Amino acid sequence: MQIFKKKNALIHCLSLLKEKNKLIGFVPTMGALHKGHQSLVKNSIENNDVTVVSIFVNPTQFNNPDDLKKYPKTLKEDLELLENIGCDFVFIPTVEEIYAQAVVSKSYSFDGIENQMEGKFRKGHFDGVATIVQAFFEIIKPDTSYFGEKDFQQLQVVKKLTEKENIPVKVIGCPIYRENDGLAMSSRNIRLSKEQRSEAPFIYQTLKKVVGFAKTKSVKDMYEFVKNEFATTSLELEYFTIAEENTLAEVSEINFDKKNRAFIAVNIGGIRLIDNISL
Ligand code: AMP
C-alpha cells in the first residue's frame, strides 16, 4: 500500500495506471475507519484494478467548530485496516495541500436537495462536501466512487454534483453497516459514553417501528409517534422526515409507486447521530 501526502505524486502514479487502462475506484473518508468504511473499500477493491482511499477531515463541511475539533483521529489504526484489506493507495493531504488559497467552499445549487434535512441544520455543509468531493474527483479522476447510504442526502448530492458539473465518475451507494444492536456505524460513536452508547440503538429501533407503520398510519401520525417516543428518552430529536428518495422532498402522504425513506437526526450530549431507512 502506498501513502501519498502530495497530490502531484498521486496524480503522477495514477496517470501511469490510467495509461494501462486500469480501473480506478475511490472511497473518500474522514478517517476513524470502521466496518462501514471497510465495506465501501471492499466493494471498490472487488470491482476495480486500483483502489484509492482518502483520509481528510474537511474543515469546510463542518458548521460547528467544536465538532471539527473533536472529530476522532485514529490514523495508525486506519492505515493498518486499509493495508489488511488490500487497499492500494491512501491519500492523506494537509488542509493547505487541498485549500491552497483559502479554506472556503464553492457555492452550488443541487435543485433543492441540499436545502432539506442536514442542509437546514448544518448551514453550508453540502457546499463543503461538494467542494471537497469535486477537488478529489479532479485529482484522482476515478472511474467509480463509493458512498454510504448512511449519509443518504450526501450520496444524492454527490450524484447531482457529477450530473451538474459533467464529471465522468460513476457514484455507487452502499448499504448502511450496523452494529449488532442496530446502531448505524459512525466515527462519532467512539465519542459516546457507555450510557449514551446503550441508549443510541433506540434510533434504529424507532425507525424499524416506522417501517412497520408505513402501510397503515398516516405520515402525520408517524411524525407524532416518533416525537412522542423520543420525548421519553434523553435523546434529543433534531428532525424526523419522510421524503421521496430522488428529490428528498418531504411527503405528506406516502406514494408507494415511488421510493420513500425515513430520515432522522438525534443529538446525544452534543454528539449528532443520523440514520435512515427505506419504507
Ligand atoms: P465519513 O468518514 O463519515 O465521511 O464517511 C465516509 C464514507 O463512508 C461516506 O460515504 C459514508 O456515508 C460512509 N459510511 C459511514 N458510515 C457508514 C456505515 N455505517 N455504513 C455504510 N457506509 C458508511
The model's pLDDT over 185-213, given as tens digits with 9 standing for 90+, comes to 999 999 999 999 999 999 999 999 999 99
Query: For 52-89, how does the pLDDT look when each residue is reduced to its tens digit (9 = 90+)?
Result: 999 999 999 998 899 899 999 999 999 999 999 999 99
Given a contact cutoff of 8 angstroms between Cβ atoms, the answer to whether 151 and 274 are in contact is yes
What pTM was computed for the model? Answer: 0.96
- Structural domains present in the chain: 2-174 (3.40.50.620), 187-278 (3.30.1300.10)
Query: For 30-45, how does the pLDDT look when each residue is reduced to its tens digit (9 = 90+)?
Result: 999 999 999 999 999 9
Query: For 233-242, how does the pLDDT look when each residue is reduced to its tens digit (9 = 90+)?
Result: 999 999 999 9
Residue whose CA is closest, atom 14 of ligand 1?
Answer: 148
- Which H/E stretch holds residue 170? strand 170-174
Is the pLDDT score of 101 beyond 90? no
CA angle 36/42/45 to nearest 5° reads: 150
Q: Cα(29)–Cα(122) distance, rounded to whole angstroms? A: 19
CB of 185 sitting under 6 A from ligand 1: yes
CB of 129 sitting under 6 A from ligand 1: no
Expressed in angstroms and rounded, the spacing between residue 187 Cα and the centre of ligand 1 is 8
CB of 189 sitting under 6 A from ligand 1: no
Given a contact cutoff of 8 angstroms between Cβ atoms, the answer to whether 36 and 186 are in contact is yes
The three cell numbers of residue 60 are: 469546510
